[in-house]
Amino acid sequence: MAKRLFTALLILLFIKAEAQSSLLWEISGNQLKKPSYLFGTFHLICQSDFSISQELAGKLRTVEQFYAELDITQPGIQQELITQLTLKGTTLNALMGAAGFEKARASFKQITGMDLQLFNQFKPFMSLNLLALYAIPCADKIQPETLFIQMAKAHKIPVAGLETLADQIAAIDAQPMEDQLKTLAASLQNYDSVKLVMKQLLNVYKLNNTDSLDSFMEQNSSDDYFEKELIEKRNNRWITVIDHAIRNKSAFFAVGAGHLGGKAGLITLLRKQGYTLKPINY
């Protein structure tokens, strides 16, 4: 039960993947003049566990545009995030009840060293995101997308996003508030399991092999909400953006690895559009 609920912490990190042989894919065919590339990331990872290899860097340098899920370089995006995650007309305390909030507050303080009261006016995702952050067992955490963006800008490659921040928050808000609160409470109560699953997930991701990844995620699968709202609907929106982008210019796409595989994954959707997808070792 704890493992299943923990999947909520991976909302924008990693969901479910189909068994394939790489996290880097070449997109070609369908009258494209130049190939584009699709790469599966882990949005927050230890610095020692990820680096942009020469192969990845080489592919990025060949394209004319770079896409992440979200363009985090947009001015004012941090303030917009705070606004989007602020509860309207209520607080965590009111939603959880005084006793529930105090119990969660004690656990949150023990785990993070911070007072949950600081996040009382924010949606549960804010607190869940911090729990996920602390579950990653290192101090030197990095965002691979940030590294890609820095490299793209250094080579004067335009940066864009597949969706807006409002789109991402809408996907999170699609989960009933009652379920979000249950996930927060259960994650606090079972935090040792949270850390264990995160450690296992990171180890599987580092294999760069989606066969192993698929097997792991099958054993730690989420409910229909995550599959529908956070994968299928977003992928269906993204595929339109991707199709339009690569018909005009070659591109490198870096998205959460869970968006690549499965019947509703980007690999399958791109193939349905007539493109050829080929795994690349990196």
Cα separation, 91 vs 120, whole angstroms: 5
Note the pLDDT of residue 271. 97
- Distance (Å, whole) CA 193 – CA 2: 6
pLDDT at residue 128 in the model: 95
- Name the residue range of residue 69's domain: 2-76+138-174+191-279
Distance in angstroms (rounded) separating the CA atoms of residues 111 and 97:
21
HSE, side-chain direction, 13 A CA sphere, residue 168: 21
pLDDT average, residue stretch 242-256: 96
Closest CA to 6 of 184, 126, 143: 184
The Cα 272–Cα 282 span in angstroms is 25
Q: How far apart are CA 68 and CA 254, in angstroms?
A: 5
Percent of the chain exceeding pLDDT 70 equals 88
**Residue 6 domain-assigned (yes or no):** yes
**Cβ-based neighbour number of residue 164 at 10 Å:** 14
Give domain status of residue 157, yes or no: yes
Residue 12 has pLDDT above 70, yes or no: no
**pLDDT at residue 217 in the model:** 67
Predicted TM-score (pTM) of the model is 0.88
Give the model's confidence band at 220: pLDDT under 50 very low, under 70 low, under 90 confident, else very high. Answer: confident
Question: Considering its fold, how many domains does the chain have in total?
Answer: 1
Q: Six-digit token pair at 17?
A: 């993947």
Residue 108 covered by a domain:
no
Q: Closest by alpha carbon to 148, among 61, 277, 64? A: 61
Residue that wins the pLDDT comparison between 106 and 217: 106
- Is the model's pLDDT at 265 over the cut of 70? yes
**Band (47; pLDDT cuts 50, 70, 90):** very high
Residue 210 lies in a domain: yes
Q: Would you state the pLDDT for residue 242?
A: 98
Q: What's the rounded mean pLDDT across residues 198-215?
A: 79
Q: Evaluate whether residue 196 is within a structural domain.
A: yes
Q: Percent of the chain at pLDDT above 90?
A: 73
Residue 85 lies in a domain: no
pLDDT in tens, 53-112: 999 999 999 999 999 999 998 899 999 999 999 999 999 999 999 999 999 999 999 999
Q: Which of 28, 24, 71 is nearest to 270 (CA)?
A: 28
Question: Is the residue at 149 inside a domain?
Answer: yes
The answer to whether position 92 is within a domain reads: no
User: Is the model more confident about 201 or about 122?
Assistant: 122
pLDDT-derived band of residue 223, with 50, 70 and 90 as boundaries? Answer: low
**209: pLDDT confidence band, cut at 50, 70 and 90?**
confident
Residue 146 above 90 pLDDT?
yes
Average pLDDT, the chain: 89
